Chain A
Amino acid sequence: MSLPLLVAWRNLIHDPVRFGLYVGGITFAVVLIGVQYGILQAMLESNVRLLECLDGDLVLIHPQRASVMFRAAFPRQRLEQARSVDGVHCVMPLYLDYQAGEWLATGVARPQRGPARRIRVVGVDLQRNPLRTLNIPFQDWQRLQLPGTALYDRWARPAPPPFAPTVYGPLHEGIQGELTGQKLTLVGDGFELGFDFAADGTLIVSDRTFARYLRANMAFTAKDPLDDIDLGVIRCAADSSVATVQITLKKMFAAMPDVEVLTLSELIQREKRFWLMNTPIGFAFGAGMILGFIVGLVICYQILTGNIADHVGQYATLRAIGHGPAFLRAIVGAEALLLAGLGLTVGIAVVAAVQSVLTDWTAMPFRLPLQRVLALAGVTTTMCWLSARLAARHVEKVDPADVF
């Protein structure tokens, strides 16, 4: 162990009570940042959960559709064009509606019946399932062949009493309700998707049901309502390169202003970026994280300067026997890094526990993958390192004559 690290460690643990408080202080900051970061990420991820369930490599989308919740469709012809490209295994249309779908649980008597609420409706071509990762049983899928049926999201937003169990009322097999004023029957065991900022829940219907319930306004036009595609999910052949297929498609659609080709991850990132930059989510939780960072910075600074004040004689002695400011700064830096490491270790455990509780409460997708742990470690280390830089100015001012 290097000497600065040894001195730093011994200085910290010299008083066990204070040591506990030191670690507690840093842990508090880590939890503050970690929970804010976790909520932010959970919110962003909940908004792309549907996209993450798409079973495809590439996605066709209208370029002006800044978020999938907005309405901007491209013509079906683009799907046919894409299907002709080498390396494309299949192309699946997906219909989305966030605006018009109003659900009223007519099968429930008042007062348990809540008011009509907007619901996200996903229309799919039953011959080409783009949502295989939702693991919907085949027999449930087949039941959508019957017009006026829908699969339901078991993780729809819960409702406060007396409206139970979801904001849409009870969601289970056989429940009937009204979607945009038309009777709809829920079938199957449901699937697990969850709610987000744009919608409190999701229904999956066949494309024909989708057209009948949500594109009825197009019935008076010559156009087939299913010709307006919201998302085109492209699955590439196993022996082809996704990047090559994307380039080919981009070249093909270069002159066409109504469609662009994204990989699935590009679409997810674009969607996250939209929510982060164009809604208060990013600001609110970003500010929360910055606040946590500043609080942690101040806590760590106070710990370090307090520790310097407690050991000023020690630092003066080290200077008097010939150690330079760099050695003293290294001790302060090592103290900061040790605090960061310990605070992070305890903090990660607390954040994981808090997220577990929050997941149970909210059904939001709180996760703590290694990447996020590393990000938190980076933020915590930066916070403590900056504190050390500031606190080191005090140790540089220590007068070696103070030993007398």
Chain B
Amino acid sequence: MSSEPCQPAEVPTVQDQVAQVRPTTLSIGPPAGRPLLQVIGVQHYFGRGETRTQVLFDNHLEVMPGELVILSGPSGSGKTTLLTLIGGLRTLQEGDIRLWDSVRGETISLRGLSEQALINVRRRLGFIFQRHNLLESLTAWQNVQMAVALRPRPEAAAQTRDLLQYLLLGDRDVYGRPQPPRFHYTPARLSGGQRQRVAIARALINRPHLILADEPTAALDAHSGLAVITLLRFLARPRPEAELLQLLRPGEEGGEQGRLAEWQVPLLQRLAGQGGATSLIVTHDPRIMHQADRIVHMERGRIVANVVVAERLFVRNGLRQSPPFAVILPEEQAKLADELLVGVHPDIPLRPDQLAMVSDRLAAFPAGSTIIREGEPVDDQSKFYLIRRGTVEVFRRRADGSEEKVAELGPGQSFGEVALLLNQPRNATVRAKDDVETYLVRREVFRRYHNVSRPFIERILASFRPSAG
């Protein structure tokens, strides 16, 4: 049992970020811990009769408010179909999709929704289409006004100007050099990237609470792509200023990553406000993959991976801090960590229904309950525990039979690792100090990876001190 607290490194602490976002989005966002979007057992078919083909298979997904979700997968895997179902562009056939309705202040089901209700849903979403789909006869400005017409307001003109300017369609380029504003250009006079940026402005101008984007950066150069993804990230939630300053690279250092101009910063801050917008982005663009809070991977119509990046980092770092895992081959470590993931940010407690679905790899303990007891025999079903939330206290029995508290462990720390390796009884009692959630690794699971990495394990065993855990 490790006694040294091991804080996970590189894990973004979203508590403060979420806390920052919550006060401003409280009135429009779902209650704490509740998702903004739920995809429940969605299946979909194209065609009829003999040509009927199933394209989506029993998909489940939950997206929390303020998340930036990237939906990846090969062509034809069903990403866009799922996106159109979420956006209310297609009729749900099987399963359900539930969206938080910020106007009504409740979750609504898209299943069986009337056409008018679906229109109302679409009005609250921001859709960025892969093929931009601008109205060819209208100017860039007028195209954006087509969305403004859905929510007219006095400040819309200024916001449109700011947005188009920020997206490098105004009178300055990313290096601050003057350029002809493209506000009154028709799509025929705009490049592919410029059209795409106009389409992005149209999708974002009404500050939607959910942005659905299909390859939004595919046609964009490095600077524009960076501007778009940065805007989406800041629309999701406020970010540290240092993060923004990193993007103000000198022109010559922009390169493939692109750069943000200093004059874009105040525009970005004005446009992003206090955040609160969730983005679901279908993309193959490697430039933006690392910006995601959650990466959902689809193959052949199924969601085969649903990874909250922060959770993955949390679990990987947590396992890496424990000696039995530290010696497993890195790729095996990663696989084992991914097996534990539940798709929820470690700062957010799991609901009972979620717990029930992941009971094989995650357990919850109420405050005061005993998790393991000293002297308990171990077997193949015995588990290793990585604390996800809450605090546990570690006790050892003295010679006189009384208990002595020897440690207090928190999130990212672990206990019970000896049971993975040896058949010795538990050497301490661990109790939940408050409500605790822990990831679980059963010995049989551990051994699958241990066997692959045996040479390394043997090396560790040679220097391992049994009395330590």
Contacts and interface: CB of A to CB of B under 8 A. Distances in A.
Contacts of B150: 321-323
Interface stretch (A4-12, A70-78, A362-370): A4-12
Nearest to B90: A401
A218 interface: no
A219 interface: no
A22 to B, nearest CB: 14
Interface in B109-136: 115-116, 119-120, 122-125, 127, 129-131, 133-136
Interface in A320-334: 320-325, 327
Given A3-B146, A322-B150, A400-B89, A317 B133 contact: yes
Interface stretch (B137-145, B219-227, B357-365, B460-468): B137-145
A14 B146 contact: no
A361 interface: no
Interface in A375-400: 399-400
Contacts of A51: none
B132 to A, nearest CB: 9
B276 interface: no
A6 to B, nearest CB: 7
Contacts of A404: 80, 84, 89, 129-130, 214
A88 B144 CA distance: 73
Given A320-B89, A401-B89, A7 B137 contact: yes
A180 B89 CA distance: 86
A13 B138 CA distance: 11
Contacts of B125: 322
A324 B117 CA distance: 10
B37 to A, nearest CB: 17
A314 interface: yes
A349 interface: no
B399 interface: no
B242 interface: no
B426 interface: no
Interface in A253-310: none
B122 A6 contact: no
Task: Report which residue of A13, A14, A318, A400 has the largest number of chain B beta carbons within 10 angstroms of its beta carbon.
Answer: A400
Contacts of B343: none
B55 to A, nearest CB: 13
B158 interface: no
A321 B202 contact: yes
A403 interface: yes
Contact of B142 (A6, A14, A401): A6
Bin the interface of chain B by size: 20 to 34
B133 A313 contact: yes
A82 B116 CA distance: 71
Contacts of B149: 3, 323, 327
Contacts of A320: 87, 89, 122, 127, 129, 133
From B124, B145, B150, residue with most partner A Cβ within 10 Å? B150
Contacts of B329: none
A124 B137 CA distance: 69
B202 A7 contact: no
Interface string B194-217: 000000001100000000001000
A316 B134 CA distance: 11
A6 B149 CA distance: 12
B218 to A, nearest CB: 14
Nearest to A404: B80
A399 B150 CA distance: 19
A313 B137 CA distance: 12
B289 interface: no
A82 B411 CA distance: 116
Interface in B85-124: 87, 89-90, 115-116, 119-120, 122-124
Interface string B176-202: 000000000000000000000000001
B137 A321 contact: no
A7 B135 CA distance: 8
B203 to A, nearest CB: 8
A403 B116 contact: no
Contacts of A7: 135, 137-138, 146
- Counting chain A CB atoms within 10 Å of each CB, the highest count among B90, B125, B138, B202 belongs to B138
B137 A11 contact: yes
B214 to A, nearest CB: 8
B147 interface: yes
Given A403-B131, A403-B133, A321 B122 contact: yes
A318 B138 CA distance: 13
Interface in B58-99: 80, 84, 87, 89-90
A320 B124 CA distance: 11
B135 A317 contact: yes
A315 to B, nearest CB: 10
A322 B84 contact: no
Contact of B136 (A14, A321, A324, A401): A14
Contacts of B120: 322
Contacts of A327: 149
A317 B129 CA distance: 9
Contact of B145 (A3, A14, A316): A3
Q: Which of B127, B130, B135 is the most central at the interface, judged by chain A CB atoms within 10 Å of its CB?
A: B135
A3 B136 CA distance: 15
Nearest to B123: A322
A321 B127 contact: yes
Contacts of A400: 89, 122
Contacts of A318: 135, 146
A323 B116 CA distance: 10
A400 B134 CA distance: 14
Contacts of B89: 320, 399-401, 403-404
A317 B138 CA distance: 13
A314 B116 contact: no
Interface string A1-35: 00100110011011000000000000000000000
Contacts of B90: 401
Nearest to A396: B115
A10 B143 CA distance: 12
Contacts of B135: 7, 10, 311, 314, 317-318
A313 B84 CA distance: 15
Contacts of A311: 135
Interface in B147-173: 147, 149-150
Nearest to B202: A321
**Best-surrounded residue of A316, A327, A404 (most CB of chain B within 10 A):** A404
A11 B150 CA distance: 20
Interface in A190-243: none
A13 B203 CA distance: 26
Contacts of B146: 3, 7, 318, 321, 323
Contacts of B134: 317
B122 A322 contact: yes
Contacts of A322: 119-120, 122-125, 147, 150
Nearest to A10: B137
A321 B147 contact: yes
Nearest to A402: B89
A195 B214 CA distance: 75
Given A3-B145, A10-B138, A403 B123 contact: no
11 contacts: A3-B145, A10-B142, A13-B137, A14-B136, A311-B135, A313-B133, A320-B122, A321-B146, A323-B150, A401-B84, A404-B130
Shortest Cβ-Cβ A-B pairs, 4 listed: A322-B123, A10-B137, A322-B122, A317-B133
Interface of A: 3, 6-7, 10-11, 13-14, 311, 313-314, 316-325, 327, 399-401, 403-404
Given A3-B145, A10-B135, A325-B115, 10 more contacts: A6-B142, A314-B136, A316-B133, A317-B134, A321-B146, A323-B149, A324-B116, A400-B89, A403-B89, A403-B133
Interface of B: 80, 84, 87, 89-90, 115-116, 119-120, 122-125, 127, 129-131, 133-138, 142, 145-147, 149-150, 202-203, 214
